[in-house]
Amino acid sequence: MSSNGTRPRIAVFKFASCDGCQLSLLDAEDELLAVAEAVEIAYFPEASRRMAKGPYDIALVEGSITTHHDAEAIQRIRRQAKTLVTIGACATAGGIQALRNWHDTAEWVRLVYAKPDFISTLKTSTPIAEHVPVDLELRGCPINKHQLIELISATLAGRKPNIPTYSLCLECKRRGNTCIMVAGGVPCLGPATQAGCGAICPSMNRGCYGCFGPMENSNAHSLASQFRVLGCARDEVERAFRSYNGWAWPFRRVFEEVPRS
């Protein structure tokens, strides 16, 4: 219950994305009824035909900005939202579609679409925070539904949500995992990646893919050098960092000689 006794109004918006993050809310089967009782889902086209007007207490924003229309819409959403929370790698870092930022988008459009004239797009895919101020980020590709539920319960209780920004390794070690990087020589992005997923990949003997994006003070450069020591070719290292969160500056800068102005 929010401070004035009414249920907080939540809205879910979508830009360029696969919908996987907003589905995490519908996927939270055990908590869904409790959520629906405790908050007012005012706007969530994926789940309900009801489309109530703002202002909203929390706007959950999925997806990256890839068109002129997006760039205008996000400004309107910001004006209607007390708290704006970006959810998922697309919204927080530009997503996998930000790979086009390193290429000629117009040429790709010509290659992919039969009638390129119908396509109106920006040259880049950029995170929401490059357009409007963002209050909180939920990372991941997709986000972890427990973090989403945590955000909602913390808001309802009036406390700060427990969303750590430190490395995945701390979570991995608390689970008692063997470090696959040290014990197996497997390149793992965990030491440069933000915790929050529960260390799913290392727990399954896979290197972390970095889907939660750069952690606080991410020293991706040192980790990239270590990947080379472990025997990765330069382009393999580049591919490892340049995926879902490749456009996030701490990952991007490893391969960009010219510093951002």
Partner 1 sequence: MRKKSYRLDEKGLDALIAHLREQGYQVYGPKVEDAALHWRPITGCADLPRGWTQELAPGRARLEPDNSAALFHHWTCAEGLKAVLHLPLVRIMAARRDNGWFRILDNPPPAARCAFVGVRPCDLAALAVLDRVLLGDRYADDIYRARRQGAFLIAIHCQRSAPTCFCASMGSGPRARSGFDIALSEFAEGDAPEYFAEAGSPAGMDLLEACGAAPAPPDWSRAVEEGCARAAAAQTRRLDAHAAPQLIDALFDSPHWDHVAKRCLACGNCTSVCPTCFCVNYEDRTSIDGREAERWRLWDSCFTQSFTYIHGGSVRSSVKARYRHWLSHKLGRWQAQFGTPGCTGCGRCIVWCPVGIDITEEFRQLQLSAAAAASFATKD
User: 135 CB contacts (<8 Å, ≥6 apart)?
Assistant: 83, 84, 85
CB 62 within 8 A of CB 22: yes
Q: Say if residue 170 is exposed, middle or buried (CB neighbours under 10 Å; 0-12, 13-18, 19+).
A: middle
Eight-class DSSP state of 8: P
| Binders of ligand SF4 in range 116-135 (CB under 6 A) | none
Distance CA 188, CA 218 (A): 14
**Residue 86 touches which member of ligand SF4, partner 1, none, C-beta under 5-8 Å by kind:** none
Q: Which is nearer to ligand SF4, 122 or 208 (CB)?
A: 208
- Two structure tokens written together for 185: 């020589």
Q: Does 250 bind partner 1 (CB under 8 A)?
A: no
Look at strands 40-43 and 9-14 and give their pairing. Answer: parallel
- Per DSSP (E only), the strands in 99-228 are 136-138
Q: Which is nearer to partner 1, 105 or 226 (CB)?
A: 226
Distance of CA 195 to the CA centre of its chain: 12
Distance CA 223, CA 204 (A): 21
Distance CA 51, CA 141 (A): 26
Size of the chain in residues: 261
Q: Which is nearer to ligand SF4, 83 or 177 (CB)?
A: 177
Q: Which stretch binds partner 1 (CB under 8 A): 34-42, 62-70, 81-89, 91-99?
A: 34-42
| Binders of partner 1 in range 146-205 (CB under 8 A) | 149-150, 152-154, 156-157, 159, 162, 164-167, 169-170, 173-185, 188, 190-192, 205
Q: Does 28 bind ligand SF4 (CB under 6 A)?
A: no
User: Residue number with the shortest CB distance to ligand SF4?
Assistant: 190
| Binders of ligand SF4 in range 201-220 (CB under 6 A) | 202, 208
Provide the minimum distance between the beta carbon of 76 and ligand SF4 in the complex, in angstroms, as a whole number.
39
Q: Which is nearer to partner 1, 20 or 198 (CB)?
A: 198
Distance CA 94, CA 169 (A): 24
Q: Does 200 bind ligand SF4 (CB under 6 A)?
A: no
Residues that bind partner 1 (CB under 8 A): 1, 31, 34-35, 37-38, 149-150, 152-154, 156-157, 159, 162, 164-167, 169-170, 173-185, 188, 190-192, 205, 215-217, 219, 222-223, 225-226
Residues that bind ligand SF4 (CB under 6 A): 168-169, 172-173, 177, 179-181, 188, 190-191, 199, 202, 208
